[in-house]
Amino acid sequence: MSSETEKKINLLDLDREGLASFFKKIGEKPYRVTQIMKWIYHRSIVDFDQMTDISKKTRDHLKTIATMDMPQVEKEQLSRDGTRKWLLRMDDNAVVEMVFIPTDDRGTLCVSTQVGCKLGCAFCATARLGFQRNLSAAEIISQVWLARACLEKTDNVNVGITNVVLMGMGEPLLNFQNTIAATNLMMDDLAFKLSKRRVTISTSGIVPEIYRLKEHTDVSLAVSLHAPDNQIRNKIMPVNKQYPIEELIPACKNYIAGSTHRTITWEYVLIAGINDSPEHAKKLIKLIKGVPSKINLIPFNSFHGCGMKEPTAKTVDRFAEVIYKSGLTVTVRKSRGDDIDAACGQLAAKND
Ligand code: SAH
Ligand code: SF4
């Protein structure tokens, strides 16, 4: 194969460790890692010619073997509540969405890890797409890079990206390696410098991968529980048949074991008439007893073609109150960006 047709390596696919082995392999000094990361992630430069502290000879060599390719930002939508959603197109034409949710003191970017999802949760619009493919690490970390670049170009943005949640399209733990490389970059001082408390992987509960996760990282973990027993969870989350609650809870406990201040955030989508009664709340409390926990209630967001119903505000309050009175920390996620289909579970990358 000629060097022209050989596939070039995308440097955005590599975290610090990956870059170190890449530069070693091509006979470059270790300090190239620091140089290149600072250009890409601190100065937002992805053009070798502008990397002026790297010799022309090295730059020319890099150009023949490496790229820093990113998806295209195809569309940006702004919600009346300030939430922004971007549609990104990959080089094979696949599309994914990412969402930026600002509040007074925090800016949360919600990124995708797969095109579609194979897990088929009954309440999720992404599930309807089926699974198309994993995103590369470059395609995941590019979302943070691109969102920051878009926000910097925009007036009236009073808070940048302070938090990243892997809660967009797809199941992060079924795209394990790429998710780890991308989250490493989010937390790396030479890249996005976010603390581990501010980077959250959300999983539907892939038990073996939760054990494996602990060996590789210490990002924050949110777990989509959504039901207080297997019977209900089986109905709305088919993945529960493979990894039932009695296996999931010990895996989560293990993830935070050995640290005094870490917690699991349990996500719980409240769906009218399915899992939203005070009895369900009491059962939920019993279930997670002994695990340092926060509970994040998410009122179900409806979407076209989904037969399930949104809970009333009263039902949500009643459920939250039962949990609050038990002494657990509970938050209710406010629906944001629903006028542009950017709310939880509404991401389906409709390119219209
Ligand atoms: N696959 C991962 C991460 C993406 S889903 C997971 O399931 O955790 C991110 C969150 O949005 C999950 O908690 C998911 O259950 C929730 N969600 C999905 N569809 C929703 C809907 N229609 N309304 C509210 N939340 C939803
Ligand atoms: Fe996949 Fe998460 Fe949607 Fe379930 S909720 S289908 S795991 S993206």
Query: Counting ligands in written order, which one lies closest to the CA of residue 175?
Result: 1
pLDDT at site 1? 44
Q: In the block, which residue shows the tokens 């797409």?
A: 129
- 122 CA → ligand 2 middle, Å: 9
Per-residue burial over 315-326, b = 16 or more CB atoms within 10 Å of its CB, e = otherwise: bbeebbebbeee
Cβ pair 252, 223 in contact under 8 A: yes
Q: Is 24 domain-assigned?
A: yes
Q: What's the chain's average pLDDT?
A: 94
pLDDT at site 152? 93
- Diameter of the chain by CA atoms? 69
Mutate to test the pocket of ligand 1, among 117, 118, 121 (most ligand atoms within 8 A of CB): 121
* 146 and 62 in a common domain: no
pLDDT digits (tens, 9 = 90+) for 48-71: 999 999 999 999 999 999 999 999
* 115 and 20 in a common domain: no
Of residues 238 and 335, which shows the higher confidence score? 238
pLDDT digits (tens, 9 = 90+) for 151-189: 999 877 788 999 999 999 999 999 999 999 999 999 999
Element (H, E) at 132: strand 131-134
- The pLDDT-based confidence of 345 (bands split at 50, 70, 90) is low
Rounded distance between C-alpha atoms, residue 48 and residue 66, angstroms: 10
Q: Which of 26-30, 230-234, 296-300, 338-342 shows the lowest per-residue confidence on average (mean pLDDT)? A: 338-342
* 210 and 269 in a common domain: yes
- 190 CA → ligand 2 middle, Å: 32
* 274 and 200 in a common domain: yes
Q: ∠ CA 92-84-336 to the nearest 5 degrees?
A: 120
What residue's CA is closest to ligand 2, atom 4? 121
pTM: 0.95
Q: Of 2-16, 78-92, 146-160, 179-193, which one has max mean pLDDT? A: 179-193
* 332 and 185 in a common domain: yes
pLDDT digits (tens, 9 = 90+) for 207-265: 999 999 999 999 999 999 999 999 999 999 999 999 999 999 999 999 999 988 899 99
pLDDT at site 337? 79
Which of 67, 91, 119 terminates a domain? The answer is 67
Rounded distance between C-alpha atoms, residue 337 and residue 76, angstroms: 13
Rounded distance between C-alpha atoms, residue 93 and residue 84, angstroms: 22
pLDDT digits (tens, 9 = 90+) for 298-313: 999 988 888 899 999 9
pLDDT at site 336? 78
Q: Is 345 domain-assigned?
A: no
Which of 67, 87, 108 terminates a domain? The answer is 67
Q: How many domains does the chain have?
A: 2
Mutate to test the pocket of ligand 1, among 118, 269, 310 (most ligand atoms within 8 A of CB): 269
Strand order in the sheet with 329-332: 72-78, 84-89, 95-102, 107-110, 163-166, 199-203, 220-224, 264-270, 293-299, 329-332
* pLDDT at residue 2 greater than cutoff 50: no
Residue 104 CB-density burial (10 A; 0-12 exposed, 13-18 middle, 19+ buried) = exposed
Question: Dihedral sign, CA of 234, 237, 238, 240?
Answer: negative
* 47 and 134 in a common domain: no
Domain containing 47 equals 3-67
**DSSP strand pairing (107-110 vs 220-224):** unpaired
* Residues having CB within 6 Å of any atom of ligand 2: 117, 119-121, 124, 126-127, 170-171, 204, 224
* 101 and 18 in a common domain: no
Q: What is the mean pLDDT of residues 307-330?
A: 96
